[in-house]
């Protein structure tokens, strides 16, 4: 029922997704004064600190900005598949699933640095794929590196996803030293500009270095998993394993460009999982980044699996779990 309902592209589907979007986010708007403060605010990266300075004490503005950013990411998720057509079906399911995935952690529906960082990562992935079969040296990889690096000035751990640019070059073109150099230059440029600005305005550069190092390697605030959240994560993990396994069984039958896009998304997923388990500075806020490839894996599974009964049950249970999480958290 849900799969059939949400995989279409009619205006009614857009309306339903909008209603669910608002339903998931209604509590952050109601409780905005209680959720705006977070440990990210104490030692923010430069661009996130600037954003927090603009927001000031306006808790509702922070929630609105976060909401708008997730809307933009959801739009890009759908548009990327529409233009590249790697799932081979036009559908709004990626947006719907991305919203549900983010709903696993109600605390992080308010503004946090991983949300703007996810937008920059999504744009970077699109730029990498746009370099497919472009003749000569492509500036796409400089742009992708620049976007990821800029996003890391909101959320420092996005910088590890700079590996995607190198991986992308290897996947969609013959690995070329010039393009690797260009991509590394793209990654360096935002930081060179930041250090330059700090120097010109007389701010302490050593303090900036300490800030970056702390955001990358010092332990962040731990997340206390409630029983319902833990059960939901186990359930979601099972669906992800099933969907990725299903994707891998069909990967060799897909068109070359589709294979390369899915391969890049698989790398994105594994990098996000790796940094979560390896780095003490990473917590569950990374769900906004992990949700990008996951929304495509699940969409591919729900669209192409032939026996629909089990997927319908899985999606319905996921939907109900997110709904219960939202209700119980704010209760």
Q: What is the mean pLDDT of residues 177-190?
A: 94
Counted domains in the chain: 1
SS3 176: coil
Mean residue pLDDT of the chain comes to 91
Q: Which domain holds residue 150?
A: 2-330
Q: What is the mean pLDDT of residues 102-116?
A: 91
Q: What is the mean pLDDT of residues 121-127?
A: 98
136-145, 158-167, 322-331: segment of lowest average pLDDT: 322-331
Q: In the 8-state DSSP scheme, what is residue 39?
A: G
| Contact in structure between 264 and 129 (CB atoms under 8 Å) | yes
Q: What is the mean pLDDT of residues 216-226?
A: 85
pLDDT number for residue 38:
55
SS3 244: helix
| DSSP per-residue letters across 256-277 | HHHHHHHHHHHHHHHHHHHHHH
pLDDT over threshold 80, residue 1: no
Token digits of residue 172: 């969609």
Q: In the 8-state DSSP scheme, what is residue 173?
A: S
CA distance 45 to 25: 26
Q: What is the mean pLDDT of residues 27-51?
A: 75
Q: What is the mean pLDDT of residues 300-320?
A: 91
| DSSP per-residue letters across 137-169 | S-THHHHHHHHHHHHHTTSGGGGGGGHHHHHHH
Percent of the chain with pLDDT over 70: 95
pLDDT over threshold 90, residue 72: yes
Give 225's contacts (C-beta < 8 A, 6+ positions apart). 233
Dmax (CA) of the chain: 64
CA distance 80 to 90: 10
> How would residue 267 be classed by pLDDT, with cut points 50, 70 and 90?
very high
> How would residue 107 be classed by pLDDT, with cut points 50, 70 and 90?
confident
| Contact in structure between 13 and 6 (CB atoms under 8 Å) | yes
Listed residue (152, 135, 157) closest to 220, CA to CA:
157
CA distance 61 to 117: 18
| DSSP per-residue letters across 53-119 | HHHTT-HHHHHHHHHHHHHHHHHHHHHHHHHH-SSSS--SHHHHHHHHHHTT-GGGGS--THHHHHH
Q: Tell me how far apart the terminal alpha carbons of the chain are, to the nearest angstrom.
A: 29
In terms of C-beta distances under 8 Å and separation of at least 24 residues, what long-range contacts does 265-274 make, across chains too? 265/125, 265/292, 265/293, 265/296, 265/297, 266/293, 267/163, 267/164, 267/167, 268/121, 268/125, 268/161, 268/164, 268/292, 268/293, 269/244, 269/293, 269/294, 269/297, 271/160, 271/161, 271/163, 271/164, 272/161
Query: How big is the CA angle at 76 (ends 4 and 311), to the nearest 5 degrees?
Result: 25
CA distance 298 to 307: 15
Percent of the chain with pLDDT over 90: 68
pLDDT number for residue 260:
96
pLDDT over threshold 90, residue 175: no
| Contact in structure between 72 and 118 (CB atoms under 8 Å) | no
């Amino acid at each position: 029922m849900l799969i059939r309902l949400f995989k279409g592209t009619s205006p009614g589907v857009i309306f339903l997704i909008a209603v669910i979007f608002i339903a998931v986010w209604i509590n952050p708007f109601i409780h905005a004064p209680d959720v705006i403060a977070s440990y990210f605010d104490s030692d923010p990266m430069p661009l996130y600190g600037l954003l927090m300075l603009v927001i000031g004490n306006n808790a509702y503005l922070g929630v609105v900005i976060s909401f708008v950013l997730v809307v933009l990411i959801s739009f890009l998720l759908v548009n990327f598949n529409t233009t590249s057509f790697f799932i081979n079906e036009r559908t709004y399911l990626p947006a719907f699933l991305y919203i549900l995935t983010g709903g696993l952690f109600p605390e992080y529906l308010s503004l946090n640095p991983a949300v703007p960082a996810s937008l920059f990562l999504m744009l970077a992935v699109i730029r990498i794929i746009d370099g497919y079969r472009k003749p000569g040296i492509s500036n796409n990889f400089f742009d992708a590196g620049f976007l990821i690096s800029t996003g890391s000035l909101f959320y420092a751990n996005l910088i590890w996803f700079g590996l995607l640019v190198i991986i992308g070059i290897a996947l969609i073109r013959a690995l070329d030293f010039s393009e690797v150099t260009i991509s590394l230059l793209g990654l360096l440029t935002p930081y060179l500009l930041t250090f330059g600005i700090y120097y010109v305005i007389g701010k302490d550069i050593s303090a900036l270095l300490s800030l970056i190092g702390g955001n990358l390697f010092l332990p962040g605030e731990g997340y206390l998993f409630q029983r319902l959240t833990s059960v939901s994560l186990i359930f979601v993990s099972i669906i992800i394993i099933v969907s990725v396994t299903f994707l891998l069984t069909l990967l060799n039958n897909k068109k070359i460009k589709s294979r390369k896009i899915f391969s890049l998304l698989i790398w994105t997923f594994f990098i996000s999982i790796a940094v979560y388990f390896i780095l003490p500075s990473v917590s569950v806020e990374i769900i906004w980044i992990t949700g990008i490839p996951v929304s495509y894996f699940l969409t591919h599974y729900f669209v192409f699996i032939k026996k629909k009964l089990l997927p319908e049950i899985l999606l319905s249970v996921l939907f109900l779990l997110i709904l219960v999480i939202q209700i119980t958290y704010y209760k």
